[in-house]
Amino acid sequence: MRGRQYVPCQVRLCRVRRRNAPDPSKRYQIDQKLVWAEQQLQYAQREKLVAEERQMKQLIADCNLIKEEMDLIEAVRKDAAQTVSIEHASPR
C-alpha cells in the first residue's frame, strides 16, 4: 500500500477491546497472580536474577493496571444503573 496511510477501523477496535476487557467478577484471579508475582520478585531480588526481576515487575504493573480497569468497569456499570431525571426551570 504505497502512498496510503493505514487507519484501523474504530468499530472493529472497539469490539476487540470489549472482548479483551477484564471481568471484575474474576478479580480474585488477578489478586492471586499479584501475590505470586510479588513472591517471585522477592526471590529474584534475593538471588540477583535481573531478567526475572524485570519480568515480575512488569507482571505486577500489568496486574495493577488490570485491577484499575476493573474498578473503572465497575464504576461505569454503577453509573449506568442510576436513574437520571432532568427538571427544567419554569420560564420567567
- pLDDT grade, residue 80 (50/70/90)? confident
8, pLDDT greater than 80: no
Task: Establish if 81 belongs to a structural domain.
Answer: no
Whole-angstrom Cα distance, residue 70 to residue 30? 10
4, pLDDT greater than 80: no
- For residue 73, what is its C-alpha cell? 468497569
Instruction: Return the higher-pLDDT residue of 64 and 14.
Output: 64
Q: Give every CB contact of residue 30 below 8 A, 6+ residues apart in sequence.
A: 22, 63, 66, 67, 70
Task: Establish if 92 belongs to a structural domain.
Answer: no
Task: Establish if 64 belongs to a structural domain.
Answer: yes
Q: What is the pLDDT of residue 3?
A: 52
Question: Which DSSP helix (H) or strand (E) runs through 32?
Answer: helix 27-47
Does the predicted TM-score (pTM) go above 0.75?
A: no
26, pLDDT greater than 50: yes
39, pLDDT greater than 70: yes
Task: Establish if 4 belongs to a structural domain.
Answer: no
How many residues appear in the chain?
Answer: 92
52: domain range? 25-76
Total tally of structural domains belonging to the chain: 1
Q: Give every CB contact of residue 22 below 8 A, 6+ residues apart in sequence.
A: 30, 66, 69, 70, 73
- pLDDT grade, residue 11 (50/70/90)? very low
